[in-house]
Every structure is written in C-alpha cells, then in structure tokens.
A and B are shown apart, each in its own frame.
Chain A
Amino acid sequence: MEGFTPVAGVSGGLLIGLGALMLLLGVGRIAGISGIFANAIAFGSESGRRWIFVAGLLLGAFIHQLAAGIELPVRTSLSWPLLAAAGLLVGAGTRLGGGCTSGHGVCGIGRLSLRSIVATVVFMTVAGLVTYLTRHVIGLPT
C-alpha cells in the first residue's frame, strides 16, 4: 500500500489548479472534467476542443510517467460489474449535480460558489461513507 506522499501531492495539486487557471484565463471556461467529457461524447460543434483537452490530459499524464519512471497499472479489486456500476453512478451523478471533483471541488470552490461548496461536502461525505461500507461492513476485498 502506497503511503503518504505530501510533496508529490501538493505539487500535483498545484499543477491541476494551474491547468484550470489556464483554461479560465485562456478561453474563459471551467475545467470540470465531467462537463468536458460529457460535451466531448455529445459530438456536437463544440466537442472538438474537448477532445483536444482530453488528448492534452493524456499526454501530460504520459509525460510525467516517462519522467518519473513507468508506473505499473494499479487496479481496483472490483469485479467488472461493480466497476461499471461505479461508472454509471459517476456519469449520472456528475450530470445531475453539474460537476465533479475538478468542476465543483477545484474550480467551484475557487470561485467561492456556494453550490460547489455544498456539492463537494456532499460527495466527499457520501464517498467516505460508501468506502467505509464496502471495506468495513460489506467487506469487499481491498
């Protein structure tokens, strides 16, 4: 189990914030990945830029991994039906709630949006509860 990595954590967070800041300053949009992905898969007139963002995201992650040494994939221990269920929940939930960790948690809080602060508190709390349930009550393998 990987341990506490404060320096990489903060540094990575700073870069995430910087990426969001660049998008806002550059083209005036919020870097909420759920929204960007949703727009991309709608394949509308605005989707091309979103796919370009996703391409940049993949390349940025890849470049870091090259610089840091190739990382082996770390997988969850979930069966694929549970993994798919999680994906469904995330997809539906982020559209219904209008954001995710980057949209509400990073950008929304950055704008001091009450909606985002509330959403972040809710999804953080529920996530913690669900992790507790699956690991310590239901006892899904970790």
Chain B
Amino acid sequence: MKWRSILVWFASGLVFGAGLSLSGMINPRKVLAFLDVTGQWDPTLLLVMGGAVAVTLLGFRFVLRRTGPLLGSFDLPTRKDIDIPLLLGAALFGSGWGLAGYCPGPALAAFTVDLREPAIFCIAMAAGMYLRRLLPL
C-alpha cells in the first residue's frame, strides 16, 4: 500500500529534520566552530555524531538481522572497496563543507530560517551533482 511507504518516508524525514534543528547543525557558524579546531573550538558536532552513531550502531544491527524491512526489501549499498572516486569525492565534499559549514541535510533544513543562503548553496549543490557526471571517474 503506497500510503504506508509515503508515511515512512515522511515520518523519518520529520524526526531527522527535528534532530538537525535541535542539534544546532542548521547553524553553519556552529559547524565551522567545530571544524575550526585551533580557534574557539565548539565540540558539539562531535556529540551530535556520537548520539546519531550510537543509535545506528545499535539499531542497525537489529534491523539488518531481519529478512526485510517492514515494507518492501532492503536496498543498501554493497560496495566494499576503497577507490579513488571515494577518496576524491570525500575530499571534495570535505572542502565544500569546510568552506561554508553546510552539508546537504542542514542546507535543506536552513530553508526554515533563511532563503538566500540555502537557495544559493542548494542550487549550486544540485549543479555540482549534475556536473559530477562530466568527471571522467
């Protein structure tokens, strides 16, 4: 039943978005204050990651033991190798993140408090995603 799937996607996003806002990650200066280790360091993001990973480390174990999710089947990344695209991609992503303090989730959530900045960032992010296909990797 389609509506149950829609409900799951919506509810998951709802909880995720509330978490993004509560954690303070929508504030790019707070993120940059974490990344700025030699400056006025704000370790909050470490705790945010810690809290999130604590849930997934514990919870994913149980969920992945099942033969399938509540609806449909598992559709998970299967690759295990470390290759150049992974390393380069992570480096490029890190560069953008370290520059602006925005990554995809917070940039979208920022539309609840602002228009100009998340618009510029997200349009550029979309462009970057399309442009990735031009890269010979």
Contact = CB atoms under 8 A, between A and B. Distances in A.
Partners in one complex: yes
Interface of A: 1-6, 8-31, 33-34, 37-38, 41, 49-50, 52-65, 68, 71-76, 78, 80, 82-98, 100-102, 104-115, 118-120, 122-132, 134-136, 142
A11 B71 contact: no
Contact of B29 (A37, A74, A97): A74
Contacts of B109: 57-58, 61
Contact of B86 (A8, A75, A98): A98
The 3 tightest CB contacts between A and B, nearest first, are A91-B128, A97-B89, A12-B23
B99 A28 contact: no
Contact of B125 (A8, A49, A90): A90
Contacts of A4: 42-44
Nearest to B30: A2
Contacts, number: 489
Contact of B96 (A38, A58, A62, A93): A93
B8 A23 contact: yes
SS of A interface (majority): helix
B114 A8 contact: no
A30 B12 CA distance: 11
Interface of B: 5-6, 8-30, 32-33, 35-40, 42-45, 47-57, 59-60, 63-64, 68-77, 79-82, 85-105, 107-114, 116-117, 120-132, 135, 137
Given A22-B8, A76-B117, A114-B82, A16 B89 contact: no
A2 B101 CA distance: 15
B98 to A, nearest CB: 3
A28 B108 contact: no
A123 B32 contact: no
A95 B11 CA distance: 25
B8 A91 contact: no
Given A14-B51, A30-B76, A113-B77, A91 B124 contact: yes
Contacts of B50: 10, 13
Nearest to B92: A93
B12 A88 contact: no
15 contacts: A8-B24, A13-B49, A15-B19, A18-B19, A19-B16, A20-B52, A57-B109, A85-B124, A86-B102, A88-B125, A91-B96, A91-B128, A92-B131, A131-B98, A136-B39
Contacts of A100: 93, 103-105
